[in-house]
Amino acid sequence: MPNQFDRSRVIPAITLLFFSVMFNLFSSAQASETLMKTDAALQLHIDLIEVALKTDSYNKRCRGISTATNLHEVNRLYVTKYSITANNFIKDYINEDVRAFKTEREHTINKLLAKIGGCEKAESQEWVKQLKPDFKRLYEQAESDKLPWYPE
């Protein structure tokens, strides 16, 4: 009888299929939750790099400080905590051309300073006083383990 089927084989197969589908749904829900946490943590690190570059560009343009102290601080954090340099982070997660990215950010800050009316206007508007607490807050969040992130 070729058209008949054996129920003893079908029911375990259906049960296995059901549990497989449920497991995949549960796993994908966990994966999307992990991805959302990772995205938030990754965005935190991207914001930290952006604020560090803004502050360093301001210091270079308006204060004559040529060293990128904030980016160096981020670099120390990344090297000690994640074993990755800030430049490698930029290359892997933001822009492959690190030099072009940094130059673009510096030009953006210079244009913004020109719109504001120069360094004196930026200082009178306490523009840099807004950057310092932002950098400190983002740095402390990246330093803590509240949003764990690890380079892949």
Higher pLDDT pick, 37 / 147:
147
Instruction: Indicate the DSSP class of residue 126.
Output: T
Higher pLDDT pick, 54 / 25:
54
pLDDT of residue 71: 95
pLDDT tens for 40-95 read 888 999 999 999 999 999 888 888 877 889 999 999 999 998 889 999 999 999 99
**Long-range pairs, 61-69, Cβ under 8 A, ≥24:** 61/109, 61/110, 61/113, 61/119, 62/113, 62/119, 62/122, 62/123, 62/128
Q: Scanning the structure block, which residue is given the tokens 């991207």?
A: 46
Backbone angles phi, psi at 84, to 5 degrees: -140, 140
Confidence bin at 151 (pLDDT 50/70/90): low
Q: Which two tokens stand for residue 58?
A: 């301001």
Rounded to the nearest 10 degrees, what angle do helices 127-143 and 7-58 cross at? 140
pTM over 0.85: no
Question: How far from each other are the two terminal CA atoms of the chain, in whole angstroms?
Answer: 56
pLDDT of residue 73: 96
Burial of 73 (0-12, 13-18, 19+ CB in 10 A): middle
pLDDT of residue 34: 34
